[in-house]
Structure formats: C-alpha cells, structure tokens
Structure 1
Amino acid sequence: MKNIALVGYGVIGKRVADAINRQDDMILSGVCDIISDWRIQNAAQKDYGIYAATPNAEKEMVANGIAVKGSLKELLEKADLVVDCTPKNIAARNIEIYKKQGIKFIVQGGEKHGTTGHSFSAETNYATALNLNATRVVSCNTTSILRTLGALKRAGLLDYARGTLLRRATDPWESHLGGIMNTMVPEKDIPSHQGPDAQSVDPDLDVITSAVKVPETLSHMHYWNVKLSKAATKEEVLDALKTSNRIHLIRYEQGLVSNNTIKEMYLDMGRPWGDMYEVALWEDMLKVVGDELFYAYVVDNQAIVIPETIDAIRALTGLEADGQKSIDKTNKSLGIN
C-alpha cells in the first residue's frame, strides 16, 4: 500500500481523489488546497483529510467550519507520492517544495514537459516511468491522440496523421466567467500544441494538429485524416483500435449522434459525474479509402486523464511493473469495460 497526497481539489483533483479511494493498493493521505468554498467542503463531507496550503487558507477554512488536519508540509511527510492537480503554472512552482521534501510527484498536462522531463500515457510508455521521481500525465486531447494513433501504430498501420480539434471553450462550472459565445476562435499556430505534446511521449509519431475553440462546454471533438502504412480494410483498422482498452467504439444507429447524447449515455450508465474515461470513437463514421483513414471521436476532458493518473502512481511507486496489469486493474476499479 502506498500513501498518496493530493494537492488541488478542483475538476481533476476531486476525480483523482475518488479514483485513488477505489484502489486496493493505495491510500489517499489527504487533500490540500487554498479554497474554503463548497468544493473543499464536499471533500470534508467525504471524510477526506483536509490540509491547508497556506496559513491564510487555514484561517479561511476554519472560519468556514472545516476541520484542518495540518499544513502542506505535514501532508507530504505522510505520503509516498503527491499528485498535483492545481491550475496551470501553479504546479510548476510547487515542484520545488516536492523536490526539497524528497517526495515523488505527478503533475497534469497543463504544465510543460520540462517540469518533469518525462510525460506519461499508460498504453504508450508505462515502462519508462517505473520508479521515476516525477512524471507529467499529458493533457486530455494528447491522451486521446496517443490512444488512437498508438493503437494504429502497434498494428503496423500508421504512417502519419493530421488532426483538427474542436476544443470546448471552458469547463462547465466556469462558463459564467468567460468563454466564447456565437463565434469560433482558431488557434493561430499550426501545429497546435497537442501534436508536439504527443511526441514528448512518443517521439516517432508523425502528427500535426490544428485547433479551434468552439462555444460549448461538454467535451472536445477530433477529426483525423491518417495516412496508413499500407492499404487496409475497415475491419483491420477497427481490430487495431480494439487493442486499446480505453477506446469505446460507438455508432450513430445507437442514437449517439452528438456529444450531448454520449454524455447522457454515461450518466445513465451510473458513472460519477457522467464521466467518460474512454475515447468515444464513431465506428460507423470511420472510413478507409485505400491507404487513407478518416475518423472522429469525442474526448471528456474532465475524465480521460483519471485512469492515466492512477497508472502513473503505480509506475512511479513501483506498485506494478507490468503496464497492462495496472491498466486492467484501474479499468476494473473505474468500471471501464
């Protein structure tokens, strides 16, 4: 059993906390944050040990009736590894604390590859993370790219890939703070950052991405044009994609015609928050023309990196040397079939 500390109890952090609690080989030592609102109050209702990141944060928490068990330093002293789920750029500052404390750490995809020197995706490079001191679980979109292109690569079908991402403008709970309405905002740089980010995990991928922010908050959608290494049938491509335990093939004829219908399916399945840990890829839209492949899929940016984070914990702490065994264990605990 390994003791795991969590810093940052937001959209990703609360999901990571619950996922850790579902494992039988790790224990959540506590959660640390600066907030004292409903988010951390819900964590306290779940009987998670609450720690304050700063003295001022502790005062605010106590004033709001939250029992504080200690400071960030005290939490880290109880843990074998810390998962940092704080907003972008904050984790990059926190890692100096972790290094001084001598504790292993995981950051999320909002941070740069250089913060850890290693980027992680379970199906692609689990073995390279074994017993490392730190890694970065790549972003939601990058995770989806590595799962889908990785499956094609393992089957010897991938030559190169070109993808367009339709990116949700903001998280649902923050829609009132900004975002975009009645317009679309193309990212000016091609490639967008997701292609090079995927190459930080698999340098051999020949991938270029472009991205557009769109006025919705449920998910991201990807369109891909892939040059195959040889002419192939649709069945060969589908067989390759099925080698990933974290790609869910869906069909229009099931009534799954949009991101909102997919979300509703996962809510009906009883997933916490309706979370979709898998890439939802339309099987009946997928088209093969000679050595060209076209397909589209949906990414739940709040959920897809959760199983990856659990696998990263096992790799860094040495709980499981076999990546596929960790993936299978994580999938079973989270209800990924």
Structure 2
Amino acid sequence: MNITKKVRVAVNGYGVIGKRVADAVVLQPDMALAGVCDVSADWRPRMALAKGFALFGATADHAAAMRAVDLAVSGTLDDLLAQADVVVDCTPKRIAAANVEAYRKRGIRFILQGGEKHSVTGHSFVAEASFASAIGRDSTRVVSCNTTSIVRTLNALKRASLLARARGTLLRRATDPWESHLGGIMNTLVPEPAIPSHQGPDAQSVDPDLDVVTMAVKVPETLAHLHYWSVQMTRAATKAEVLDAFRASSRIALIRMDDGLDALNAVKEMMADLGRPHDNLYEVALWEDMLTVQGDELFYAYMVDNQAIVIPETIDAIRALTGLATEAFATMALTDAALGIGALARW
C-alpha cells in the first residue's frame, strides 16, 4: 500500500456520523482531513475548531452566520472541495442526493451514507463484500448501520459455506441520543409498515445472492439496535463451526452474557472503559453464549451501534475510490489498527 502521498478528505456535514468520520480520518496514516463543512452556528462546529479542523460553511450565507458568532470559517463548501481528493457526504437524508450534482460537476469522488438510495451512486459498500467492485469508482454509498451488520454477519456465514437463507427481526432505536429531547417515541412500539423491511433488500444491493428477509420495529430507547436472526444453514453444523465463521471477521466481536455484558447499556459502558471515542462500538457485538444451533438451523442475536458501525466502512470506501488499497484485507487491517478494532477479541 502506497502511503507516501496522503489523500485529502473533505467531510460535508458535521453531525453524528460526520464528526466520527473526521476523527477517524485523522488517525489514518494515508489520509489528511482537508476540513469539515456544516450549516449550523451552534456548539457543534465549535467542537471541530477545538480539534484543529478547518471549518467551512455550506454556502456563503452559512459561512456569514458562522462568522457572526465568532466562528473561524475558512470558506464555503466550494472552497473545501477545491482542496480535497474525495468528499464524504454526511448530511441528512435526501440532502446528500441533492449535493451529487455539484460533486460530479467538479469531478470529485464522493461517498454517500445509507440514507440515500442505491440508485444515486449505483454501488453500495461493505468492505468484506463489495470492496473489489468499488475500486476506482467515482462514488459509492456506505449502507446503513443495520444493513452493514446484516452483510457482515451473513457474509461471514456465506464465506464458510454455511448460509442458505436468513430471516431477521430488528428492534430499532427510536432516535439518536443527542436529539432524543426533540422526538422519538415514548411508551409504544412502532412496526415498520412492510415486510420485508427495507434493510433486507438493501443488503441485497451489496450482495444480490443473499436470501434474506427482515422485519423491524421501533422501540423507545436510544442506545443501539438489537437484531434477532434465524438462519437456515446449508447443512447441519456445530456451534463451534458457526463461531469460527464469525471469528473470521475482525468486525464481528463475540461477547458473553455471563461476563456481565447482558444488555445494550453494559456493552456501551465497556466501550467507554476501553477508551473508545464517543463510546464507539465499531463491531457487531454478537452474543456467543446465546447463539444456538439445532441441526441445520442457527439462532443468534447481536447489537448494532448506529453511530459507529459505518465509520470503518467509510474509511475503507475512501481507499477503494482513491486507489489507496486494492484488497479488502489490506485496508481493513489498516483501518482496524487505527481505530482499535479487535480490542474486544483480546479482552
């Protein structure tokens, strides 16, 4: 891997995902953060400046509003793009799709997040499944947190020749913790109105061969998502075989209830104790002592941190588009080392 010249990365949108992407970029040996862009003039862009990041306003009006409250602004989004090789768009759903025309007009490579449709880029990304087809492209879409977890786990079984078909139920957190005072749900459950829910077809946008159906319901909590899966395997297998298949992925962490990691909050607390920024859980945290095998049927559950799981995938997508890496294993190893992925396996 050539790291003599660093790729300059712009981050458009400094919210839940954007701030984590920016933090991850500066840890990579082959990347440099050109700057971050946003529309707000409150405490959030101040955090970017406190970290030494160059700050840009989305438009001249946004930049002026930031300067009016004494934020040191380096220019507009156009100015930031002129200094970058690739842009990671972390703006809210549907806004990113509207930005695509500007990116294409400038000829800059771009990465969207899972809130946008597959058709916007024509490519959907999870490193272990679709890295090779992303190499040298002008754009890709890092799929959503839940879809990322689905592709990671099912592809682990697929690589071990154990996957026939999978059916999953998703308990989805209602909103992000920092804005739970603005919305979300209380004292109720909200089923997603269609079966399959959108995550199954989205996983097939990454790997069309997956036989997967998902159902989802919103629940009144904000810590993380919880998945339950029933898998028909290609043959009868042992629990040890299945666990070995999952262990083969560095981004699936096997955890145990009998270690006291018996609830979402306990796992998040462990992330804090490990010193992870923002308590990030980059891995799929899968309970190995709950996992059950009955002949050729497999049952398991895992936790998904929707604020963190897509961060390593985004870093790998940058390397794919810009040619910094040509093999999924190489970029994943570099990303994992920089972000401390693998600490759960060593614990």
Which of residues 70, 82, 91 is equivalent to 1:86?
A: 91
Aligned counterpart, 2:321: 316
Q: Does 1:245 align with 2:245?
A: no
Aligned counterpart, 2:345: none
Secondary structure of the 2:181 match is: helix
CA distance in 2, matches of 1:25, 1:69: 24
Secondary structure of the 1:222 match is: strand
After TM superposition, give the deviation of residue 71 of structure 1 in Å. 1.3
CA distance in 1, matches of 2:321, 2:63: 30
After TM superposition, give the deviation of residue 165 of structure 1 in Å. 0.1
CA distance in 1, matches of 2:34, 2:183: 35
CA distance in 2, matches of 1:235, 1:242: 10
CA distance in 1, matches of 2:304, 2:139: 26
Which of residues 170, 174, 180 is equivalent to 1:169?
A: 174
Q: C-alpha deviations, 1:236-257, integer Å up to 9, x for none?
A: 1001111111000000110001
Which of residues 44, 48, 63 is equivalent to 2:53?
A: 48
Aligned counterpart, 1:102: 107
Q: C-alpha deviations, 1:290-327, integer Å up to 9, x for none?
A: 10000000000000000000000000000011110100
Q: Does 1:14 align with 2:19?
A: yes
The AA in structure 2 aligned to 1:278 is E
Secondary structure of the 2:215 match is: strand
Q: Does 1:270 align with 2:275?
A: yes
Q: Does 1:73 align with 2:90?
A: no
Q: Does 1:192 align with 2:184?
A: no
Is 69-78 or 87-96 further displaced after alignment?
69-78
Secondary structure of the 1:319 match is: coil
Aligned counterpart, 1:151: 156
Is 52-61 or 279-288 further displaced after alignment?
52-61
Instruction: Count residues with an aligned counterpart.
Output: 337
CA distance in 1, matches of 2:100, 2:42: 25
After TM superposition, give the deviation of residue 140 of structure 1 in Å. 0.2
Aligned counterpart, 1:292: 297
Q: C-alpha deviations, 1:176-201, integer Å up to 9, x for none?
A: 11110111011110000000000000
CA distance in 2, matches of 1:193, 1:36: 34
Q: C-alpha deviations, 1:37-71, integer Å up to 9, x for none?
A: 11101101111111111122111100111111111
CA distance in 2, matches of 1:239, 1:93: 43
Q: Does 1:204 align with 2:197?
A: no
Aligned counterpart, 2:125: 120
CA distance in 1, matches of 2:251, 2:263: 19
Gaps of 5+ in 2: 1-5, 343-347
The AA in structure 2 aligned to 1:152 is L
The AA in structure 1 aligned to 2:262 is V
After TM superposition, give the deviation of residue 224 of structure 1 in Å. 0.1
Secondary structure of the 1:208 match is: strand
CA distance in 1, matches of 2:153, 2:215: 17
Aligned counterpart, 1:25: 30
CA distance in 1, matches of 2:50, 2:274: 25
The AA in structure 2 aligned to 1:74 is D
Secondary structure of the 1:199 match is: helix
The CA RMSD over aligned residues, in Å, is: 0.5
Which of residues 313, 323, 331 is equivalent to 1:326?
A: 331
Give me the identity figure in percent: 65
After TM superposition, give the deviation of residue 99 of structure 1 in Å. 0.5
CA distance in 1, matches of 2:276, 2:79: 33
Q: TM-score, normalised by structure 1?
A: 0.99
Secondary structure of the 1:70 match is: coil
